[in-house]
Structure 1
Amino acid sequence: MTIQSCVTIINEWDIVAARQLGRNVAKELGFGTVDQARITTAISELARNIYLYAGKGQICIDKLYENGKPGVKISAIDSGPGISDIRQVMEDGFSTSGGLGAGLPGVKRLMDQFAIESIPGDGTQIIATKWLR
């Protein structure tokens, strides 16, 4: 069973709204403050990437229940330019915006599961999941 809420990302305030939604969902599911921070950091990074590189997209947050265990699934979906070299963007230190390059590799480390699909010219979908321990 999943329960989904989405935030459309068009401007920087939408990044804040997505973070807040994620924190609220994580809190409702019983995640502690450290995991809440991990989840909101991951959302922030994914939403910022949509804003910077795609211009518009969505962050969707699902409450998951698997074998009685709660979790939160974050989906970042856009129809932007896509990523031509996924392996390269998953390298620590790689940045196209002059940032620290902690982005997607950081999201992968913060979460329990991470999947990325991207078609150049057609957009990107990233799904990251965190399970309550």
Structure 2
Amino acid sequence: MEPVTVATLPSNMPSSGIYLFSEGANHLYVGRTNSIRKRLQNHCRPSSGHNKATFAFRLTRLLTGNTQATYSAQGSRVSLEQNPTFNALFLEQKQRIRQMDVRFVSEPDPMRQALLEMYASVSLSTPHNDFDNH
């Protein structure tokens, strides 16, 4: 499909499937959801926290060098969000994502969504997808 942005999502879009964020020819992140419009908006809404704007949070971690997950209060996702410097960059990344090209495809079956997400991520070499076990 021709790319759109989150601000220019068409009215007749599928409810479930996979989506791709790109900047020009650089494909960055593939996700899957049962509510594409809502999920795309959550990625870039200024009020979205780390659990809704996961791609922006990941980008902010990379920019700040806070790439290691921690399971203690210090360095936790919540503490990073409360850090003024991190939070300002987090907001910038949500705005960046709002400007990115978006493409999506309908797929209602969760198993096929998962397979399609992995296939698209591997085929497009999206650098921000992580299928590691945690």
TM-score range normalised by the length of the shorter chain: under 0.3
Q: TM-score, normalising length from structure 1? A: 0.26
RCO higher in structure (CA 8 A, sep ≥6): 2
Q: TM-score, normalising length from structure 2? A: 0.26
Higher helix share: 2
Larger Rg: 2
Higher strand share: 1
